[in-house]
Amino acid sequence: MKLFKFGGASVKDADGIKNVFSVLEKVGHENVLLIISAMGKTTNALEVVIQNYFEKSDALNASVQEVRKYHNQILMELFEEDNHPVFSAVNAHFKELDYFLNHNKSPNYNFVYDQIVSFGELISTTIVSFYFNYRGLKNNWLDVRQFIKTDATYRDALVDWEQTQKLITKQIKKKNLYITQGFIGSDENNFTTTLGREGSDYTAAIFAYCLNAESVTIWKDVPGVLNADPRFFENAILLNQISYREAIELAFYGASVIHPKTLQPLQRKEIPLFVKSFLNPMLPGTKVYKHVDLEPHTSCFIVKKNQLLISLSSIDFSFIMEENISEIFALFHQFKMKVSLIQNSAISFSVCLEVIFCNFTELKSILAKKFKVSYNENVSLYTIRHFTEKAAQMVEENKTVLVKQISRETMQVVTKE
Ligand code: ASP
Ligand code: MG
């Protein structure tokens, strides 16, 4: 079996969905399980709904209507008859969303988040499945929550591999074309959970692992894995092949092309991962596989914007030692700060962080009781894998370098633009 994953950008409008259909016509759809994300920026739009819900804002209704209107527009462009059953199928999801908004009693933000945000994927896959049938391509729509079981860590759920494996083995029979949702799962009590933002790639990897799939293909609006993000770097080039190891490193340092959790299950079963263009589906794209050399061998550039650089130094010139460091890290963990670079000297300790869930003010006041805290907000972290002098120069040009770190293959600099 082959796993195909189409992200939000590939199904952002009616033409996008038609294009997904034509990709399948070109590359084949037998023995394929299709994982689809929410359409376009729907997940962000649902995050606004969640915010309005918690703030008891008057805008709640309007924000739901906006999501509804967006999908309706797509439906009207895809289906000629306005009494086509797809309309009531999509409507049923919106009704369920309304029901939840009106009846939920849980004050747990993360729980509520998952119950609401998951409608993006349920609706997108419903539309795509009906559309394929409409075009004569028979398929089975699956509710992925009956397959991917997780713990109850809402917004960042941990997969229960044993249960998931059992459910997938039992119910997925080959030969068919299946369509299901990325990103979501369900817990023991059948409440919806999510695997973390952009988690649909990971869903594809979970299915691939459990099915011993032949391959996974992530269809993107870029030709494959590039050596740099074209939004920030000129002259990005396509990598024809890279190893799992290299891909994990790139994802770890922040390359957004593949969700970091995706690679491990694939690597364990040596399932090749292809990253290809949904605009040019016959081009080879990038192959991620075991022990292959980076081809072409070139420097890879990754940038993470909006980072926070904190430097802590001891107030009394005492050394910053293991004990302090472990205390500092426990705090980062508690505040869900993601550390992306560390540097320490005798009396000072610097970290570059990504602030995801919390703001820094509270943490700062705790740290300030023990250390002298200085910090820079909105810095950028550049990572160059396989760096050369020229590559380093290019990154540092016209910027103020605050921290620099070099290891054998990797160079990182934190800069103020
Ligand atoms: N729709 C989800 C998100 O935007 C999951 C995904 O796209 O992979 O985060
Ligand atoms: Mg998305």
Q: pLDDT tens digits for the chain (417 residues)?
A: 999 999 999 999 999 999 999 999 999 999 999 999 999 999 999 999 999 999 999 999 999 999 999 999 999 999 999 899 999 999 999 999 999 999 999 999 999 999 999 999 999 999 999 999 999 999 999 999 999 999 999 999 999 999 999 999 999 987 889 999 999 999 999 999 999 999 999 999 999 999 999 999 999 999 999 999 888 888 999 999 999 999 998 888 888 778 888 999 999 999 999 999 999 999 999 999 998 889 999 999 999 999 999 999 988 877 777 888 899 999 998 888 888 899 988 778 899 998 776 678 899 999 999 899 999 999 999 999 999 999 999 999 999 999 999 999 999 999 997
Question: In angstroms, rounded to a whole number, what is the distance separating the alpha carbons of residues 200 and 181?
Answer: 8
What is the per-residue pLDDT for 247? Answer: 93
> 10, 42, 123, 183: which to mutate for ligand 1, most atoms within 8 A of CB?
183
What is the per-residue pLDDT for 16? Answer: 98
Centroid of ligand 2 to alpha carbon of 44 (angstroms): 8
Q: Give the closest residue to 113 by CA, choosing from 144, 157, 161, 147.
A: 157
For residue 38, which atom of ligand 1 is closest to its CA? 1
Q: 296 is written with which tokens?
A: 């072409």
Q: Is the CB of 182 under 6 A from ligand 1?
A: yes
DSSP secondary-structure letter at 262?
G
Instruction: Yes or no: say if 217 and 274 are a contact pair by the CB < 8 Å rule.
Output: yes
Question: In angstroms, rounded to a whole number, what is the distance separating the alpha carbons of residues 52 and 391?
Answer: 45
Question: In angstroms, rounded to a whole number, what is the distance separating the alpha carbons of residues 26 and 99?
Answer: 41
The residue nearest atom 6 of ligand 1, judged by CA position, is 198
DSSP secondary-structure letter at 234?
S
Count each helix (H run) and each strand (E run) in the chain, helices first.
13, 16
Of all ligands present, the nearest one to the C-alpha of 197 is 1
DSSP secondary-structure letter at 11?
G
Query: 279 burial class (0-12, 13-18, 19+ CB within 10 angstroms)?
Result: middle
DSSP string, 212-258: T-SEEEEEESSSS-BSS-TTT-SS--B-SEEEHHHHHHHHHTT-TTS
Q: Is the CB of 197 under 6 A from ligand 1?
A: yes
Centroid of ligand 2 to alpha carbon of 27 (angstroms): 23
Strands 371-385 and 300-314: antiparallel
Q: Which stretch of DSSP H or E encloses residue 380? A: strand 371-385
Centroid of ligand 2 to alpha carbon of 220 (angstroms): 12
Q: 405 is written with which tokens?
A: 């770190």
Q: Is the CB of 38 under 6 A from ligand 1?
A: yes
Q: Is the CB of 41 under 6 A from ligand 1?
A: no
Question: In angstroms, rounded to a whole number, what is the distance separating the alpha carbons of residues 174 and 219?
Answer: 22
For residue 197, which atom of ligand 1 is closest to its CA? 9
Query: Which residues are within 8 A (CB) of 9 and not within 5 positions of it... i.e. 6 or more apart?
Result: 16, 40, 220, 221
Cα separations in angstroms, 137 against 47, 177, 178, 218, 277? 33, 9, 11, 21, 22
What is the per-residue pLDDT for 358? Answer: 67
Centroid of ligand 2 to alpha carbon of 306 (angstroms): 21
Of all ligands present, the nearest one to the C-alpha of 258 is 1
Q: Give the closest residue to 226 by CA, choosing from 196, 206, 204, 255.
A: 255
> 200, 220, 256: which to mutate for ligand 1, most atoms within 8 A of CB?
200
Centroid of ligand 1 to alpha carbon of 38 (angstroms): 6
Query: Which residues are within 8 A (CB) of 348 and not within 5 positions of it... i.e. 6 or more apart?
Result: 311, 312, 313, 314, 320
Of all ligands present, the nearest one to the C-alpha of 8 is 2
The dihedrals phi and psi of 297, each to the nearest 5 degrees, come to: -75, 110
Question: In angstroms, rounded to a whole number, what is the distance separating the alpha carbons of residues 295 and 244?
Answer: 13
DSSP secondary-structure letter at 144?
G
Q: Is the CB of 40 under 6 A from ligand 1?
A: no
The residue nearest atom 7 of ligand 1, judged by CA position, is 198
How many Cα atoms occupy the beta-carbon half-sphere of 59 within 13 Å? Answer: 13
Q: Is the CB of 125 under 6 A from ligand 1?
A: no
First and final C-alpha spacing in the chain: 47
Question: In angstroms, rounded to a whole number, what is the distance separating the alpha carbons of residues 26 and 279?
Answer: 11
The residue nearest atom 5 of ligand 1, judged by CA position, is 198
The residue nearest atom 3 of ligand 1, judged by CA position, is 198
The dihedrals phi and psi of 356, each to the nearest 5 degrees, come to: -100, -60
Bridge partners, 179 (sequence order):
34, 141
What is the per-residue pLDDT for 216? Answer: 98
Q: Is the CB of 37 under 6 A from ligand 1?
A: yes
Question: In angstroms, rounded to a whole number, what is the distance separating the alpha carbons of residues 305 and 309?
Answer: 11
